[in-house]
Structure 1
Amino acid sequence: MKRLFRSRQAHSPPPDVEDDVALLAAAAEGRVEALRTLHTRHAPWLRMRLSRRCPDDDIVDEAIQDTFLAIWNSAGRYAPSRGEPAAWMWTIAVRRLVSLLRGRGNRWIGSGVPLEDVQVPEGSVEDVVMLKLGHGDLATALQRLSPELRAALQATVLDGLTVREAAILLGIPQGTVKTRVMRAKARLREHLA
């Protein structure tokens, strides 16, 4: 159990929000060491979470690079009232990944690779569950959802964003996020029944 707990800790965003706010302020002033510290602190968990959405390591690495370039260029626009720094960075990272994937075809998780052909990593239970989520009946049901419903469900349920954060990420009102998640869950129940 201790090994499992340590593994999850390694993939979670750090809890020191105030320090991240100070680092973003320093990056806004042009201090490269602040960006370097943010990268060291956040790139590993961003990479892990983006890898759940895209199996191509090169695209994920490019998205991470684009993310930190965007953070460097827009650190002065971060406002603590809009959410935690980690959520803000995650929003940027997801948008960068989506932009990269648009021109390269659909490589989202659940792309139809048989589960037998997938190597299960020695990681946390969360990693194993997320990997298996991309295969089998649930993956098929998720693929049957419209892109709008799937995106709302993925942002709130799989990625753990709040409704407010998902609304900002998806560029839609909070009520629309709630409605889409409710509809997505109902459709999943129908497909899995």
Structure 2
Amino acid sequence: MPQAENIEELLSRTALGDREAFRLLYVHTSAKLFGVCLRLLKDKARAEDALQEVYVKIWSNASKYAPSGYSPISWLVAVARNHVIDILRAAKPEAVDIDDVPDAADDGPNPEQVSERRSTRRAIEVCLDELDNAAAEAVRGAYLDGDSYRELAERQEVPLNTMRTRLRRSLMKLRDCLER
């Protein structure tokens, strides 16, 4: 890429309608400006189209460039960036046919079901509290945590048949409690 002074000179000659200066400006700056367009648009074809439009703007507005001590490439990048931002803002989201939209129904429980489940859970917790600790722990392990009878029997250090009996009796007590 040529020095900033050379780009400034090419811009000022372009402002006067010098096509050769514009061609050289394009040769020396198009790769950088294409990179700006591509980075923002993320699509090569759209970036190429945008780059053409950017250079049309540069040709039309080259007289508006005023040397300010900053790199002239900054002005060119700003023209490209602003143009691409205008493209992105103007882009309308694609319309989707209503028949192509999947149902958005919530498959989860409705508020009444949630309330009923909470009420049932509270009732079960109250009834579990009425059981002795070993029985309540066994019921929670087997039916809430998914522990096997064997795991529960080993944890509570009782024979397997004793654990089965304990769980059966505990469930009967829970049923009676919940029916009250």
TM-score scaled by structure 1? 0.45
Highest Rg: 1 or 2?
2
Q: Which has the higher contact order (CA 8 A, sep 6+)?
A: 1
